[in-house]
Amino acid sequence: MKATLTIFRREFASYFATPVAYVFLVIFLVMQGLFTFYLGQFYAREQADLVAFFTYQPWLYLFLMPAIAMRLWAEERKSGTFELLLTLPIPMGSIVVGKYLAAVAFAALALLFTAPIWITVNWLGSPDNGVIFTGYIGSLLMASAYLAIGSALSATTKNQVVAFILAVTVCFLFLVSGLPMVVDLFSGWAPEGITLAVANFSFLIHFDNLQKGVVSFADVFYFIAVIAFWLWVNRVVVESKREAG
Amino acid sequence: MDVLLEAQDLKKHFGALKAVDGISLSVKKGEVLGFLGPNGAGKTTTMKMLTGFLAPTSGQAIACGETISTGNVAARRRIGYLPEGAPLYGDMTTRDFLAFVAAAHGIEGGEARDVVESAAGAVHLHSVMDQRVETLSKGFKRRVGLAAAILHAPDVLILDEPTDGLDPNQKHEVRRLIEAMSVDRAIIISTHILEEVDALCHRAVIINKGRIVADGTPSELRARSKYRNAVTMLVPRSEAEKAASAMKSIRMVAKVEAANEGDDVRLTVLARDGAEISDSIGDIAAVSNWKVRQFSVEAGRLDDVFRQVTEGR
């Protein structure tokens, strides 16, 4: 636990060692604003809710979360600190989790900066704050799932750009498997079970449920299972890269 | 007695390549072991196994009674390691970096401040404590790496080319530091700088193609050189040829090498099987009345032994 915290602290601080983190936060907030007000028609809807805010997040995260995760391991491997890190008396699990949590904390911070829109909607009308709260929980869970994928794939390469592209690709698959066009592709010929499985594989469906204010065990469990699986992959990949340095 | 680090028949194969092919060694408390070999001989791979970064294909390594493995944190606690090229987190300040390493070793709070300060003091880092590591010179970076390796007072120190890329003054300083630390530790340093072995090591192991080809004290190794007991002298050019042929006629002389040095010639007389020839040569020189300047007996040359065992010459 203490060891995890040590790794977490170093990793989190390193996000702010360069101006990149601040640039990222600004880009995130600007994009989030654009999506909410232009694509989401926040005002035109004349509804006191944050549906416009949450609807496009899966697509926004598709690019921004891999950007947060890409350096986690690729940087270590490129600079040689991979060897330094793995010869410190810290268990592998703590290193993987500590690094991952630092990325999650950074994403959570970015999400925290969107609080003004929550305040605005409360000032304009009287929204169901419970729904908004579960929406935020769902948003953070989805971001965490993206980051778990990004972290694992970051370990596969020494090149951050390659890590980014790999992560976007895999995250994209997790995203589109719930879209009607993909589901329709299967529903014609495949048994219903498979179609359902493909659809349920998607972040979208589980995220939608949480947005509607429905906190079901299945949705939360889905995200936690995805995260756990990819952290396990992360660990396996790191172990396999010792020889490659 | 007091063996702190032991390797038993370590092997590491990468596919068909046998990078390390059965290395056994032990390092006692207070001993500095020089680990030599040409590039690609398996030095770094061996060290990576000794520090638990790589898992050996077979064989095992033990530090202070703990089997070293990629999963054994307890063994890694006993070891201080300076990886090749001293990789560091460039975006941290020296102080933050050392504090991070201390925390990784479970040292925290006031104690962490103390060990960071004393390790930094030992390698003279005080002037750069609040500077970012990436802005430091090569010498300082190497010293930061050394400070990180020693701050938890490990029983076993494994240093991969600790003086590589340093200037002669910095080299001297690092050697002095290693010497000072060797008193109650077991230290392995890898190097291909042979003067380092003389300056620092109590024992040297030479490896080639993943196997140990020589193991002994620096003097023992040197004794294997064909220059053992060779006599070197400086004679005027006019007398050189005569002197050389006279000495070749001695039965115990194997060979005479000549090299021009201004108006003089440096003659190196190699003894057959390392026999004592200095007296006979001295007698001949005196009788023949050569104008000999600088007369010395060699103990043997490490670089010669190094080539001999790694190239089979």
Concatenated DSSP letters for B178-225?
HHHHGGGSEEEEE-S-HHHHHHH-SEEEEEETTEEEEEE-HHHHHTTS
Q: How confident is the model at residue A93 (pLDDT cuts 50, 70, 90)?
A: very high
Residue A49 phi, psi (nearest 5)? -150, 180
Q: What is the ipTM of this complex?
A: 0.89
Burial B222-240 (b: 16+ CB within 10 A, else e): bebbbbbbbbbbbbeeebb
Q: A180 in contact with B at a CB cutoff of 8 Å?
A: no
- Domain range summary for chain A, segments of one domain joined by +: 2-240
Identify whether the C-beta of residue B61 lies closer than 8 Å to the C-beta of residue B82: no
pTM of the predicted structure, to 2 decimals:
0.88
Q: Give the per-residue pLDDT at A211.
A: 82
Into which CATH architecture does domain B3-222 fall?
Answer: 3-Layer(aba) Sandwich (3.40)
What are the start and end residues of each CATH 3.40.50.300 domain in chain B? Answer: 3-222
Q: Give the per-residue pLDDT at B95.
A: 94
Strand partners, B206: B36, B214
User: B263 exposed, middle or buried (CB, 10 Å; 0-12, 13-18, 19+)?
Assistant: exposed
Per the CB < 8 Å rule, is B91 touching A10?
no
Whole-angstrom Cα distance, residue B72 to residue A90? 9
Identify whether the C-beta of residue B191 lies closer than 8 Å to the C-beta of residue B44: no
Percent of chain A at pLDDT > 90 equals: 56
Which fold, B231-297? Alpha-Beta Plaits (3.30.70)
Put residue B209 in one of left, alpha, beta given phi > 0 → left and psi -120 to 50 → alpha. Answer: left
Whole-angstrom Cα distance, residue A170 to residue A177? 11
Closest CA of chain A from B55, distance in Å: 9
Identify whether the C-beta of residue A138 lies closer than 8 Å to the C-beta of residue A178: no
> In terms of Cα–Cα distance, which of A137, A136, A164 is closest to A150?
A164
CA dihedral (B219, B225, B231, B235) positive or negative: negative
What are the start and end residues of each CATH 3.30.70.2070 domain in chain B? Answer: 231-297
pLDDT in tens, B40-99: 888 999 999 999 999 999 999 999 888 898 888 999 999 999 998 889 999 999 999 999
pLDDT in tens, B204-250: 999 998 899 889 888 888 888 888 888 888 888 888 788 888 888 78
Nearest to A81 among B76, B81, B88 (CB): B88
Whole-angstrom Cα distance, residue B139 to residue A173? 48
Chain B residues touching residue A6 (CB < 8 angstroms): 100, 103-104
Structure tokens of B153? 């007072």
Task: Give me chain A's average pLDDT, please.
Answer: 89
Chain B residues touching residue A89 (CB < 8 angstroms): 73-74, 76-77, 104-106
Q: Give the per-residue pLDDT at B252.
A: 79
Q: How confident is the model at residue A145 (pLDDT cuts 50, 70, 90)?
A: very high
**Mean of pLDDT values over A116-133:** 88
Q: Give the per-residue pLDDT at B313.
A: 54
Strand partners, B66: B63
**Mean of pLDDT values over A42-47:** 77
B66's enclosing H/E stretch is strand B66-67
Burial B286-296 (b: 16+ CB within 10 A, else e): eeeebebeeee
3-state SS of A176-204 is: HCCCHHHHHHHHCCCCHHHHHHHHHCCHH
Per the CB < 8 Å rule, is A91 touching B79?
no
Residue B38 phi, psi (nearest 5)? -65, 165
Whole-angstrom Cα distance, residue B118 to residue B124? 10
